[in-house]
Amino acid sequence: MADTAERAASGAEIQLESVTKRYSGTREPAVSDVTMTIPAGKIVILVGPSGCGKTTTMRMINRLIEPTSGTITIGGEDALSLNADDLRRRIGYAIQQAGLFPHFTVAQNIAVVPGLLGWDCRRIDDRVDEMMELVGLDPAEFRRRYPRQLSGGQQQRVGVARALAADPPVLLMDEPFGAVDPITRGHLQDELLRLQAELRKTIVFVTHDFDEAVKLGDKIAVLGDRSAILQYDTPEAILANPADDTVAGFVGAGASLKQLTLLRVRDVDYRDNAITAGSEESPAALRKRMTDEGRTYALVLDARRRPERWVHVRDLSSATSLAGVGRPVGDSVSTQSTLQDALEAILVEGGNAVVTGGRGEYLGTIDIRTVTDTIQQLRDEHDGGSAAP
């Protein structure tokens, strides 16, 4: 048992090779000849319109649906030659509306797979507590509750805890956050990313929500009819350069805006050439520096170099001290912020947003040009690389 736990500590690679599912009595296969490699420790999103076979493709990995032909290997092991029940005990499974057993308590639900694997009671008990802590549910409060006594978001957390309980290397998630409100969904997505940073599982995640795919995926597979892979690439690449019109249609309007959520301010070339001044500097000296360089605005910093206010060169002629002149800096962005946040700040500030470091100190400014240049640059990059998806 110790050795399975160790082996399971992080993800395993999944390979699908010419996987096809054909239901008897139908002319077209439901899934036709899918070949893809899902890298170990990554989140891969299968995204596509309803009925495209994405769920079928996922369910063939744990053989809830048996493939008609093709091979599937998980961590190098042939999944189709194993006992299906044993296989499923080694693959976490989370579904829409959590699929919790309504007559089991939260603890019993989480304990299902460890129980099936024959862990002893002590170990299961400890594991249940650990899992509940992991997904942010207080064991003392929730252990004995029934699913009906939980909110939708809490049920999903229990669903994820149950999927992770036996520490499987692979996690299959079928629209797990589809049935909760947008705010809770956002929280659950953030939490999944936090868990994944820690656990490094191989996660196959099915959704029809492209924004969710962009947010969560290390890679996204956009699927068309019969699960044909239209494009399989990083979210950045798909947004910058959709493979064809179908993918572009699915990415939807506002691809560039979505792209902004993927980029951080630290990744772009923001400028650090604004004229700055300490509040002790005399207005006249600053005014001279500004006219020498032909600038109309300067940024006044406080003693700890944090941005305080913008001053216009006109303000300086009548001022006796830099304290209190000009307009306070409103929105600023940190290097951690997304470009979307930066754009928002740029719009609010009217042209320039101040970029600050970890302690709030001035690092530079970012303007609309920086944003548009970045997007353009990404397009060009992915255009060149589109031959090798």
Neighbour count for residue 251 (Cβ, 10 Å): 23
Instruction: Work out whether 297 is an interface residue with other proteins (CB under 8 A).
Output: no
Helix axis angle for 368-384 and 255-262, nearest 10°, is 100
3-state helix, strand, coil in the chain (%, to 5): 45, 25, 35
Query: Least distance (Å) from other proteins to the CB of residue 112?
Result: 5
Tokens of 266: 């630290």
Contacts of residue 140, Cβ cutoff 8 Å, sequence gap at least 6:
none
**Member of 113, 134, 216, 343 binding other proteins (CB under 8 A):** 113
Rounded (5°) CA angle 46-47-51: 105
Query: Applying CB under 8 A, does 202 fall inside the site for other proteins?
Result: no
Site mask for other proteins (CB under 8 A), range 162-191, x = bound: xx--------x-------------------
Distance (Å, whole) CA 330 – CA 356 = 13
Helix (H) or strand (E) holding 246: helix 245-251
84 or 323: CB nearest other proteins = 84
Identify the residue among 9, 116, 285, 348 touching other proteins (CB under 8 A): 116
Q: Is the Cβ of residue 172 or residue 188 nearer to other proteins in the bound state?
A: 172
Q: Is 280 among the residues that bind other proteins (CB under 8 A)?
A: no
Measured from the CB atom, the residue of 146 and 297 that comes closer to other proteins is 146
Does position 23 interact with other proteins (CB under 8 A)? The reply is no
The closest alpha carbon to 39, from 239, 233, 286, belongs to 233
Helix (H) or strand (E) holding 342: helix 339-349
Question: Of 4-12, 147-155, 258-266, 271-279, which segment contacts other proteins by CB under 8 A?
Answer: 147-155
**Out of 29, 41, 146, 189, the residue judged to bind other proteins by CB under 8 A:** 146
Q: Residue 147 interacts with other proteins (CB under 8 A)?
A: yes
What does the binding site for other proteins look like in residue numbers (CB under 8 A)? 62, 64, 85-90, 93, 95-105, 112-113, 116, 146-149, 162-163, 172
